[in-house]
């Protein structure tokens, strides 16, 4: 009986290492994190009684400069289109279309010394995509508004116009 020669199987490791490093390099170079996925400072609004915006100012509030939180809150409504993208923003009573117009309008409102806004309540359409909401939050953060509260639009809030 003759013994057959057994050949050792050699696995070339260098090409496998090259491929592993190429894949690693590809994923590192193509990774783009979302712009606001980091931490941002937000404070919840304090509990407060509802105050009508049309209520006349009392002498006590005018002299004291301690306005109720309801009068310092800028209501913001975000409506989505059928694709989940931001269709329209209602900032206070003003309807705005487009992120650039929204940014300019918000900056002008916050720079006005006669308007006491230092916080906002963002009422969000449930169909709105998260990335669109983050764009709006970035604008508020850039303008140094860090008191942000959220509410979801309900069916009684009306359909987008």
User: Could you tell me if residue 112 is inside a domain?
Assistant: yes
**Domains contained in the chain, number:** 1
50 within domain boundaries = no
Report pTM: 0.54
pLDDT digits over 67-122, tens only?
A: 555 567 788 888 888 888 888 888 878 888 888 888 888 888 888 777 777 778 88
List the domain range (segments joined by +) for residue 86. Answer: 69-157
Q: Is residue 128 part of a domain?
A: yes
For the chain, give the secondary structure using H, E and C: CCCCCCCCCCCCHHHHHHHHHHHHHHHHHHCCCCCCCCCCCCCCCCCCCCCCCCCCCCHHHHHHCCCCHHHCEEEEEEEECCCCCEEEEEECCEEECCHHHHHHHHHHHHHCCCCCCCEEEEEECCCCCHHHHHHHHHHHHHCCCCCEEEEECCHHHCCCC
**129: domain CATH number?**
3.30.420
- The tens digit of pLDDT for each residue in 17-74 reads 999 999 999 999 998 876 655 555 666 655 555 555 555 555 444 433 565 555 677 8
Task: For residue 1, tell me if it sits in a domain.
Answer: no
């Amino acid at each position: 009986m003759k013994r057959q020669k057994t050949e050792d199987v050699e696995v070339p490791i260098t090409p496998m290492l090259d491929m592993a490093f190429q894949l690693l390099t590809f994923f590192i170079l193509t990774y783009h994190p979302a712009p606001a996925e980091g931490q941002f400072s937000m404070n919840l609004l304090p509990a407060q009684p509802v105050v009508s915006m049309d209520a006349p100012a009392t002498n006590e509030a005018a002299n004291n400069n301690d306005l109720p939180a309801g009068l310092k809150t800028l209501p913001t409504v975000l409506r989505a289109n059928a694709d989940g993208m931001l269709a329209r923003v209602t900032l206070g009573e003003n309807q705005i279309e487009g992120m650039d117009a929204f940014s300019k309008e918000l900056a002008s409102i916050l720079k006005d010394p006669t308007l006491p806004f230092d916080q906002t309540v963002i009422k969000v359409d449930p169909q709105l995509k998260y990335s669109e909401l983050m764009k709006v939050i970035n604008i508020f953060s850039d303008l140094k508004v860090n008191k942000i509260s959220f509410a979801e639009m309900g069916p009684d809030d009306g359909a987008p116009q």
